Amino acid sequence: MNVFYAMFDILGFKALLNELNTDGLYNRYLHSILPMIENASMPILKTIKRDGKDVMVSDNSYVRANYSFFSDTITFFSSNDSFDSFLGIHMTALEFLKSGFGMYMPMRGAIGYGDLIVDKYGIQVGTSIVDAYIGEQSQVWSGCIYTKNAEKFCQKEKYFEKYHQIFHKLKTNTKGFLDMQQLENKQKSLIKYNVPLQKKVNDKPIEYYNEELYALDWTKNVFNDASKKVFKLYKNDHQQRIRENTINFEEWARKNN
């Protein structure tokens, strides 16, 4: 079965592990990263009793994307390649990317496309995983792109067009019932941008270049200058380049989108 597969890595993970140690990082996962994952993939909340108190948790009866994670790699994947699945993976990836900036934990991700087998033992294999991995590793910023395979399929099925049409219809036909600014922000989250990329061949130096790709605009409803504030550790030229590219994107998005 063909699916959409989003893969994210936490930038600066080694530094975070050195800072918090394994126990501290586990607690960060339990109390911060796991809720971020759940909120992104299961956005509807419900109230439950916990230790005699009412607490809000994600409602797992509504799942817009499946998820798994290991160490600093977090993945989300759809059940098929329908338009609803495209919407689900897009919104999940967007909310997760935004939450990374909110938690001062910048992420880098890619939404890939291809086949996938997932079994009851937790085994995952498929071309969608490889596609998302290569796309994620190719970038030199904190952000998220659609891979060329995902873009090709979405263009063929006119998913990008349908995406913008849906929000246009909602803004036109439901005035007074929905938050127009939220609709505008979600519509504008799908953009084309000259994404900073990298290519590494054997022992040769990294080749840096840019290519116009579909990407996610995470800047809506995120505090100003987030890209300047979330990068605490950048010890070499490559890490500094990642930070500067993210700052450049935020400045471009706030000005042009």
Statement: residue 45 has pLDDT above 70: no
Statement: residue 253 has pLDDT above 90: yes
Statement: residue 54 has pLDDT above 70: no
| 239: Cβ contacts below 8 Å, ≥ 6 apart | 12, 231, 233
Which of 216, 13, 3, 36 lies closest to 128, judged by CA? 3
Question: How many other C-beta atoms lie within 10 A of the C-beta of residue 251?
Answer: 14
**Strand 144-146 relative to strand 107-115, pairing:** parallel
| 133: Cβ contacts below 8 Å, ≥ 6 apart | 7, 110, 112
> Which pLDDT score is estimated for 191?
96
Statement: residue 57 has pLDDT above 70: no
pLDDT bin (cut points 50, 70, 90) of residue 12 is confident
Residues 81-126 pLDDT 10s: 999 999 999 999 999 999 999 988 999 999 999 999 999 888 999 9
Q: What is the mean pLDDT of the chain?
A: 89
Statement: residue 177 has pLDDT above 60: no
Q: Which domains does the chain have, with CATH numbers?
A: 2-42+54-157+189-256 (3.30.70.1230)
Burial of 14 (0-12, 13-18, 19+ CB in 10 A): exposed
Determine which of 8-12, 51-55, 92-96, 202-206 has the lowest per-residue pLDDT on average.
51-55
**Strand 207-216 relative to strand 190-199, pairing:** antiparallel
> Which pLDDT score is estimated for 55?
61
Determine which of 27-41, 53-67, 136-150, 157-171 has the lowest per-residue pLDDT on average.
53-67
Asked if residues 250 and 226 have their Cβ atoms less than 8 Å apart, the reply is yes
